[in-house]
Every structure is written in C-alpha cells, then in structure tokens.
Amino acid sequence: MKIPHLKYQILFIFLIHAVAFAQEKSPRDLALIDNGWHFAFGHLNDTDKDFNHGTAYFSYLSKTGNGDGPASKLFDDRAWRLLDLPHDWAVEQPFNEKGSFSHGFKEAGKGFPEKSIGWYRKKIDIPASDLGQVISLKFDGVFRNSKVWFNGHFLGTEESGYNGFEYDVTPYINYGGENTIAVRVDASMEEGWFYEGAGIYRHVYLQKTNPLHISTNGTSITTEIEKDFATVLSSVTIENKGHYKGLIAVTYTILDSNGKQAGTFTEKVIAPEFYKKAVYSSRIKVYNPKLWDVDDPNLYSLIVEINQENQLIDLHKTEFGIRSIRFDAEEGFFLNGKSLKLKGSNNHQNHAGVGTAIPDELQYFRIKKLKEMGSNAYRCSHYPPTPELLEACDRLGMLVIDETRLMGVNDLHLENLKKLIERDRNHPSIICWSVGNEEWNIEGNSTGERITTTMQDYVKSIDPTRPVTVGISSGFRSGISSVVEIMGYNYMGNGDIDAHRNDFKHQPGMGTEEGSTFATRGIYFTDDAKHYKSTYDKKPRPSFFSIEEGWKFYATRPYLAGMFIWTGFDYRGEPTPYGWPSVTSYFGMMDICGFPKDNVFYLKSWWGNEPVLHLLPHWNLDGMEGKEIDVWAYSNCEEVELFLNKKSLGKKKMEQYGHLEWKVAYQPGTLEAVGYKNGKKILSSTRKTSGKPEKIKLTPHQKILEKKDGIAVVTVEVVDNNGWHVPTTNNEITFDIKGGGKIIGVGNGDPTSHEKDKFIDTITSVALKNLEEQALDNSLLLQQLPVFNENNWKQAFEKRDYKNPAPAYVYRASFDLNTLSKKDAFTFFYQKIGIDAAVFLNGKMIAPSSADAQAYLLDAEDLNEGTNTLHIIATPIKKVNDWDVVNTNPGIIQVLKHAEPWKRKLFNGLAQIIIQTDGSGKPIVLSATAKDLKAGSIHLDVKHSVFPKLN
Ligand code: GAL
C-alpha cells in the first residue's frame, strides 16, 4: 500500500475524528412531530360547539386522565381536517371589517367566538422499548392560551403565545401502542397590537432522553477573548428523573465549524439525587479562535456528554460563537473590539401567504433580504422569537435585540423573561435583552423605574454578559429612562435625545424605533381614496421623521449605537394611517413579501458596502406625458448625472447620507443615471418604459430544495416582448403545481388586497339528527331495507335493558345538506353502535371504504339536497359491567369542498408564491397562466439530504 504524504495522513486522522464524532449516536432523540394533526374549530362560549368539552361529571381537573370531548383519547376526530404544522388558522380566514385592526381584519380571534378556539389532535405510536426513558412533548410556541392533554391526562396551560414549553408525558404513555395528544388553543384574546396569528404556529417535538439527562435549555456558554486564545466557560444543568446514585463523567468538547476538536474537558461528578438538578461547569481554552462576526459568522459547537459507568447516556450539542460585545456611552457599540454602527430594523414574524406559520427556510430568506439591504441588526419586537429565527441570525451574521413581552416583577413576567434568556443565551447574535417596549403607564414614573431596576438585575442574575434595554417613547430623562442600562429611544419626535444624553452621560443609547414612515411598494403618487402612499421618503407625520432624517441623526452621533427602523418588512395589522379596507402595515422598507420599496436603496447606499445607484419612479407613466415628475436617485456615488433619452439633465453632487432630486418632464423612453467616483464613471442604472405585457416570468429564490421541508419563494412578474419587467400590471395569475411540492401561500404586497392567502379544502361536519330505533327479532343483517312500521320508531338507546337486548336493532337518523355540489366529497364516519352493522343511505345499502372499515364514502348521486336518511342495522353491544359505557353516537358526515386553484393578482407588476416540498423527493413543476398572457413555468430540483438534529 502506498503511504500517503504526511500532510494527508494528518488530514485523514482529522477526518476520521470528525466522522467518528458525527456518527456517535446520541442517546437522546428529538423527533419533529409536525405532520398529520387533525384540526377543528371549537367554540369560545357555546359548549355544544366546543364538543361538550369540560362538561364531564368528573372533569379532567377532578380525576387525572379524565380529559373529555376532544381531550379524551377515545374521541373520534376522523372527520376533522388533516394538516401539518406549523399552522396559523387566522391567515386562512377571509377579511372582515368587524375584525381587529391590529390583527389585520382577519375573521378570527377576538370578536369571532366560532374561530377563536382551535382543537388539534395527533396520534403517535411509542414502542415498548422506550419504557424507562423520559419522554416529553416540546412546543416551540402556540398562539395562545393552550391546554394540552396526553391520553386524556391534563398536562397544563401555557398562556403566553410566545413561550416555548415542555411537558413530561412518561407515566401516561401507552407503551407499544397508540397515544393521543390533544391541544385546545384559545386565541380569543390578543397579546399584541399587531398580527399574532392563531394556532400551533411553531414546531412540536417528541423528546426521549435517559432519566439522567441534560435539562432543556440547561447549557450556558460564555466566552472571554484573550490575545491568542479564548476561554469558553460553559455550565450545564443535569437533572435526574431516575434513582441512579453515583458518579457520572461529564465531558465537554468544543468542535470548530469543520467538526475538528478545538478543546475538551472531562470531570467526574456525583449525579444529582432523584428529581434534583445540579449545575456543573468547565473552562476550556480555544487557541487562535475564529471569531463570530456579522461578515463572517463563524460558529463553534459544544458537545456535552454524560457517561454513567462508561456508558454514554446523554449527548447534547449547542452552537455558539466566540465574540465580544460592548456598548459605550461615548462611542456606541463594539463587536470584537471594533466599533460597529447598528443598522437595524424592527420586525414582526409574519409573512405573505403563511401568516405566522413561517417555514424555517423563510426565516433565512427574510434575514438574507435584510442583510442585502445593508442591515446588521434585528430587534425582535415585541416578543420571544421563533428559535429558527435566531438560528438564521447566528448563521447569517445578524445582531439581535431579544425582547420579552410584558413588563412586571411577578412570576408571570419574570418566569417568562427567564425562559427567554435560558432558551436564547447561547446565540452569539444576541447583543442585548429588551425587557419592555413603550409601556405608556409607567415609562415616565417611579413605578417604571422600580420595575426596570428589578427586571434588569434579574436579567443579570441569569446572564451577566449582555446589557438590558427598554424601548421608550415618552418621558425621556425620567422614569425608566433614568435607570435603564441602554437607553432605547423610540422616535426622535418623542423627546429631545441630545438633552437626555446630556443628563445621562454614562448611559449608552440607541434608537430602538425610528421611521414608522408610510409607503406602498411601486406607488409614486399618493392616492388616499385608494389607500396608496407614495414611496418617496417623506415625514409620515409632522412630528415624525423620514428615514433619511432619522439616519442622518443617528449616523452623525457617535454616542448613539445605531438605529432600528420601524420596520424592515410590512406586516399584517396596524394598517396605519388608513385602517379598513387596508389590512397590512405601510411601515416596511420592504412589503410583506420582501419586495423592496425604494427606501431599501437609500439604506443600501449608506448601510452597505457595494456601490449603489437606484432611480425612482419607474418610467411607465402612461398619460403623464409632459408633466413634471420628481426623479430621485439613491446612491453612494460622489456624483450622479441623469439622462432622459440620452439627453443630460445635469450632474449633481451627492451629500453624505443624502439623495438627489431632479424635476423631469415625462416622456417615455429611457431614464438613465450614471454614477461617478473620483470623476470616473463607476456604474449606471436605467428605468425603461416597457412595452405591453406579454409573458409571465417566474423566478424562484433557489432552484434546488435540499431540506425535507424546504421552500422556494417564487417571484411572479410580467415582462414585455423584450423581457423587460412591466411595473404597472395587475393581472390575475392562476397557478398549478405538479410533482413533489405544494403551494403554501400567495401574496403581492398590496396592503388593501383582500384576496386569499391560502387556497385550502373546506371541511364541514354535518351532525346526524333524530336518532331512533326499532328492535328486530333476529340478528340477520339485511341487504335490503324492509318497510318498517312508522309507529314503532322510538328514541334510540332510551331505557334500553342492556342485560336483555333484542337480537338486533335498526337505527334511523337524518342529516341535512343545504347545498349539494357533485364536486364535493362526502364521508360518513361511523362509530360503532353495534357489533356488526349494515348501513343504508336513502334506502340503498352502502359499503365501507377500503381504507377504514368504519368509514363510508357517500356517492353524491345517492344524496339529496335537503334531508337524507341513514339506516343502520346492528347487533347490540352488551355491557359486561353495569358501569360500562356503551357508545350511542353513530358518527358524523364530513363534507369536503375542494379548494379552487391557487391564484393571485399582481400588484404593481409583482406577486409571490411560496412552494414547499412534500418530502417525497420528487422534482416540482410550477406553471402560471393568465388571460392574454403567455404562460410561465419553472422546474425545481429536490435533493433531500438528512442532517440529524442533536439538541
Ligand atoms: C410604536 C410601537 C410599534 C408600532 C409603531 C407604529 O409606538 O412600539 O410596535 O406600533 O409604533 O408606528
């Protein structure tokens, strides 16, 4: 055998080590259980419509395991809708003027008792071999006020719509069989003044660990950077839910981003006692560390292993970064010792088409869009974010202010704050904890001062490495702002920032909110009747400031660490200044799809590193011939010259953080800007009057989907016969998808659009009425219905002598179909009211479905519009014990109305459609058609590779 060169030998050894680590089977298992949930609406105040839940003689609070209605494991949910999480039921609803302004006028939640309670149920098999493990259900977030049952056992209530929570289900498990999870979600109350969605809108996991294991969020990592090494200080909380007593070895291993070991430490310790926790810690030196930075977000990982008697019993991985942060009262923010101005945006987590149920890859899409704008910071206004958002910020290099929901010092507030910090503290992206926002009742007074002091100290008791801020909108120089560690100025118009700073010279500060400007993407002339706001950067209100005014203020004051614009993206709700029929906000630098408004290019010019030259408006101003148009250029070039149809309209000097303006008499053709640096032309940019709309063009943000739940965000536009974008079209486009994908949402960024975000099948349940019976004198299950004596029908199961029943019974029930469409699908989900049964629809015998022996697919030809009759002939179920409960509910009829094809109008030339793989690995073809336009289509490849998740 040829001996490889020494360099390759070493590489080979490294690789073996990395592979060995990656292959080490973690004894813990974290399985995503997002797929295959049954869903139905309950009711806020009509118990009947809430499946009679909570009415049992012995309730689930009286006796453990007594969950009733859908909370019972015996409940039949087959007629419910089947869906995958994450799910936001609010986004699926139509718009309604009676809806909530802040939640974007969706017909859900507050004010809609029939759409404010959602029930979710899922069955999971747990093998007998899992006996002895600790098994828990982990929810990343449910909006809101959720109650959870496992096999009928009530596990608890989580009121917050933003907390992650976990329930131990170990003792309630049916090992080697089926188990039922039931969740009741009550979204009747709002926590915020912005769209919050409704339902299980984040991931759910089933976690299995050894009884002795690392606690959830039990790892804490901080780093200290020295000259040529960094000290990584980690602590780990280990809990014992078993009876093991004795020594355990805790090993901490740091791997670099290539999986190469960068340091390790092992310690033998005494395991904590039964149901106790203990914290252990380590200090590991990493030499020549590669720092985490916004431009090069290098990550390390810490693997903590527990070995018990030489057997690996837990392994947990946490990603972290080595970096230093500092806020300085004179010089602003420092990352790794270098001054860095925070160029931030505030954002709510919702997006076109999907609402708050944001697929993981969409989080990355959105953070990348913000980075493209030149942004380096993100404020999670005003609640704990989805974990994947922070993962995206870590991996893409985006600094984060992580914010809790509500200020106060009681368990409600402090426990929630603690959960947030413990969950998020290892993300290198997080540079600051925010303990509140615009708390108008307390901002400027001593109550605010006292609460802030306590919350701030409480934060420090958990994480001493990051400072605390509050977004403050009034009462600068008093109350909260006199004690908060980092002053968070919400709007220059709300107070004198320089005056505050003069009073509090030792307090660093930043603009936690600025802007709140109004703009509609693609609109250049304000039209209040149409709720259109022009996108030229203007003061939104007399006491507020344009983006340019805001940035000039913050950029020129070194003592201010930076500014966070309200907002990066438009979001549902808060359609200020218009209100209904507008349903989304106007504040975004981008619309709700992530299509840039022109301000993005102002920011790109002064926030980014690339040369920028952008002209507004577009040059398809049909009917404006000869009229004077404001032409603006956003650029970081030193000079810009404007040409219309090759004729120069003058060269202008760019002021720092400014923009340039010309008045131009409109004529169609080509508007061109040429940018100069040091007198040399460095780039140009044109706006051309396009021809007629010709063809639909589809452009996915990625062509290969590699994740099992991967997405493609597809831009839909119309081009003319030169292939030029037409910026004024509003054609309605219809979509069709084939292969291994599904469409999960459509949008177009129009704040006034009331088109559907989602096209989903509608499922309704029709109850059976007037259940009656007649006793039969033999147990023959007839093939044909005889004529029964009308006088012999009596209410079914009434005063039945279960000890001496008749040989068989015939039951009769009716159900009404107000409308009957032959395109719909009808299913009778039968529940056994006898041992054997023969079922007849409107007198005709029907056969059970091949997939489910207790379900009958009803042929629309056999159904009547109006009343229908079911007969069931069945042999009776006998009671063994007097207290046995015999089912008397024969089931329910499900009507499934197929969704119409997905469609959306373009808004000013653009729409967006989001596609997700269905996990089959098959390629996807999306096609789009519209009247008078040539169709467009794209092909997406799907290459799933599986990355096991360790934590
Ligand atoms: C701020 C508030 C934000 C948003 C914004 C709209 O006062 O903190 O959440 O409502 O106003 O202008």
If you take atom 12 of ligand 1, which residue's CA is the nearest one?
516
Among candidate residues 206, 203, 205, the one with its CA nearest the CA of residue 357: 203
Atom of ligand 1 nearest to the CA of 471: 8
Phi, psi of 607 (to 5 degrees): -100, -30
Task: From 178, 209, 240, give the residue that closes a domain.
Answer: 209
Nearest CA to ligand 1 atom 3: 566
Name the phi and psi angles at 21, rounded to 5: -65, -45
Looking at residue 25, its pLDDT comes to 59
Ligand 1, atom 7: nearest CA belongs to which residue? 438
Residue 587: inside a domain, yes or no?
no
Domain end: 688, 704, 721, which one? 688
Query: Beta 855-858 vs 825-830: how paired, if at all?
Result: antiparallel
Per residue in 68-123, pLDDT tens? 999 999 999 999 999 999 999 999 999 999 999 999 999 999 999 999 999 999 99
Q: In the 8-state DSSP scheme, what is residue 195?
A: -
pLDDT of residue 783: 81
Average pLDDT, the chain: 95
If one counts every other C-beta atom within 10 angstroms of the C-beta of residue 225, the result is 16
What is the pTM (predicted TM-score) of this model? 0.95
Tell me: do 400 and 499 sit in the same domain: yes
Q: Which domain holds residue 502?
A: 337-515+542-571
Residue to mutate (ligand 1; options 383, 516, 545, 584; most atoms within 8 A of CB) = 516
Strand partners, 663: 630
CB 181 within 8 A of CB 104: no
What CATH number corresponds to the domain at position 932? 2.60.40.10
Pick the atom of ligand 1 nearest to 473's CA: 7
* Pocket flag, ligand 1, residue 564 (CB < 6 Å): no
Within a domain: residue 313?
yes
Residues 199 and 237 in one domain: no
Residues 157 and 186 in one domain: yes
- Do 559 and 671 lie in one domain? The reply is no
| Residue 72: predicted pLDDT | 97
> Does any domain span residue 186?
yes
Tokens of 64: 């453990």
Q: Which residues pair with 812 in a beta bridge?
A: 772, 871
273 is catalytic: no
We report the CATH number of the domain holding residue 837 as 2.60.120
As a whole number of angstroms, the distance between CA 87 and CA 340 comes to 38
Q: Is the CB of 438 under 6 A from ligand 1?
A: yes
How far is residue 185's CA from residue 74's CA, in Å, rounded to a whole number?
20
Residue 438 alpha carbon, nearest atom of ligand 1: 8
Average of pLDDT values for 323-342? 98
CA-CA distances (angstroms) from residue 186 to 43, 44, 113, 142, 905?
9, 8, 10, 10, 33
Provide the CATH number for the domain around residue 498. Answer: 3.20.20.80
Q: Is 566 in the pocket of ligand 1 (CB under 6 A)?
A: yes
Average pLDDT score over residue span 453-457: 98
On whether residue 893 sits in a domain, the answer given is no
Cα(71)–Cα(147) distance, integer angstroms: 9
What CA–CA distance (Å, rounded) separates 178 from 175?
Answer: 8
In this structure, the answer to whether residues 777 and 844 fall within a common structural domain is yes
The answer to whether position 325 is within a domain reads no
Domain count, the chain: 6
Confidence band for 801, pLDDT divided at 50, 70 and 90: confident
Q: Is the pLDDT of residue 950 over 60?
A: no
Does 93 sit in the ligand 1 pocket, CB within 6 Å?
Answer: no
Q: How far is the CA of 273 from the centre of ligand 1 (A)?
A: 49
Reply yes or no on whether the pLDDT at 885 is more than 90.
no
Q: Is there a single domain that holds both residue 164 and residue 265?
A: no
Q: Return the pLDDT at 160.
A: 98
**Which has the minimum average pLDDT: 188-192, 432-436, 662-666, 785-789?**
785-789
Catalytic residue among 158, 196, 513, 549: 513
Please name the residue ranges forming H helices in 206-303: none
Q: What is the pLDDT of residue 780?
A: 78
The reply to whether 470 and 553 lie within a common domain is yes
Q: Which of 668, 688, 708 is the last residue of a domain?
A: 688
Among 380, 492, 566, 576, which residue has the most ligand 1 atoms within 8 Å of its CB, making it the best to mutate? 566
Nearest to 903 by CA among 731, 663, 711, 749: 731
CA nearest 485: which of 502, 504, 462? 504
Over residues 278-289, the pLDDT tens digits come to: 999 999 999 999
Q: What is the pLDDT of residues 516-536, one digit of tens each?
A: 999 999 999 999 999 999 999
Ligand 1: residue whose CA is nearest its atom 2: 438
Q: Measure CA 545 to chain center.
A: 31
Ligand 1 atom showing the smallest separation from residue 382 Cα? 9
* Same domain membership, residue 631 and residue 552: no
Asked if residue 480 and residue 506 are part of one domain, the reply reads yes
Catalytic residue among 388, 438, 439, 717: 438
The answer to whether residue 610 is catalytic is no
The best mutation among 193, 195, 480, 513 to test binding of ligand 1, ranked by most ligand atoms within 8 Å of the C-beta, falls on 513
Do 439 and 345 reside in the same domain of the chain? Answer: yes
Indicate whether 649 and 706 sit together in one domain.
no
408 CA → ligand 1 middle, Å:
20
